[in-house]
Amino acid sequence: MLVENRPFPQDVRVLPEAQALLAAGYQVSVISPKGPNQLLRENMGGLHVFRYPAPTPASNFVGYLWEYGFSLLAMFVLSVFVWIRPGFDIIHSANPPDTAVFIALFYKLFGKRFIFDHHDLSPELYNARFGSENHKFIYSALLWLEKLTCRVADHVISTNQSYKELEIQRGHVSEERTTIVRNGPDLSWFKSIVPDPILLGKSKVIIGYAGTIGLQDGVDYLLRALQCLIGLGRTDFFCVLLGDGDALPKLKLMAEDMGLAKYLMFSGWVDHARVASNLSAVDICVSPEPSNPYNDRSTLIKVMEYMALGKPTVAFDLPETRFTAGEAAIYATPNKEFDFAQKIATLMDDPKKREEMGRIGRERIEKELAWPYQMKRLLAVYSKLAQKR
């Protein structure tokens, strides 16, 4: 398994996939960048983990060329070591970026199978982060890499129906060569525990956000919505933001300039136990991703985690978000911060509604979206490729 976007086991999709394959009898090796205080090589409960020193995160075109080029070379070198021992038959690559296709092309010469795990739409993600007018040739290059990856892959795993349709239309992937495996939460991880007592004492109503804080994640929309909420005369809230990302420093300054400092807390990256404890103290969860070609097609992991914890959500009305949450969320007009604030205020005044929405969300996860349902689809893909081999 190749993952370049974040260290293993921090990736909340790759970890349960690897554990499910291991439990099913597969020998699993994972190659990823090294995170703080991590070993370059270790055995994690039977998972063989190989890590390389992570390059400095890029902030410009030249930086991205260096980051992706170095990571591609490092992953290839480590893959050779894995090839020698313990060996492998299938390469499972998670994007972004889509550059691992070049490693797959090499090993397909030796009869190896290639699974493309389509986490993100890289071309749309680039435009969401940097704007469609910047470096159009980069967008074209990302589009070419995506198409090449879809063509080379023996099987493509999609995170939702929108991604699957795009793979068929844009990547010319046949229906039988793609399978939807959603980011279903593991209910053994996401369950209500003793709420954080410090957070409980912050205000009458606690608002919570948990996830990456990147340029595309809409936390700036959330800050403006909170400012609107105060403008509505509502100061009886406290907002906790759990997570880290490249937009965090700018957003902290933005919150200070907007006079929001006493109403919120940026916690940075926290471990799973603390996430569960903090969110258990939250009354209303938020998913402020704005409408754009990337977010409209993407399934937001945070929303399913909120649902698994029995929490109501306020979100912008995006197609895949509405499919996921259904009646477990109330929806604001896309990209309208004032409407987002009004929807938060509505839930602040209706604890019974919050409780009912939380129950609906938890039941939907338990009966349809939890990881065990998705795991069966993943193992079916592997069984099919193993039989072909």
- Please report the domains of the chain, with CATH numbers, ordered by start residue: 2-184+371-388 (3.40.50.2000), 197-369 (3.40.50.2000)
Give the separation between CA 32 and CA 54, rounded to whole angstroms.
Answer: 9
What's the confidence (pLDDT) of residue 285?
A: 98
Long-range Cβ pairs for the range 62-71 (8 Å, 24+): 68/4, 68/97, 68/99, 71/4, 71/33, 71/99
HSE toward the beta carbon, residue 192, CA cutoff 13 A: 13
pTM: 0.90
3-state helix, strand, coil in the chain (%, to 5): 50, 15, 35
What's the confidence (pLDDT) of residue 271?
A: 78
Per-residue tens of pLDDT for the chain, all 389 residues: 999 988 999 888 999 999 999 999 999 999 999 998 999 999 999 999 999 999 887 767 777 788 999 999 999 999 999 999 999 999 999 999 999 999 999 999 999 999 999 999 999 998 988 876 667 888 999 999 999 999 999 999 999 999 999 999 999 999 999 999 999 988 877 776 788 888 989 999 999 999 999 989 999 999 999 999 999 999 999 999 999 988 999 999 999 999 999 999 999 888 777 888 899 999 999 999 999 999 999 999 999 999 999 999 999 999 999 999 999 999 999 999 999 999 999 999 999 999 999 999 999 999 999 999 999 999 999 999 987 66
**Which residues touch 34 (CB under 8 Å, ≥6 apart)?**
7, 40, 51, 52, 53, 54
What's the confidence (pLDDT) of residue 389?
A: 61
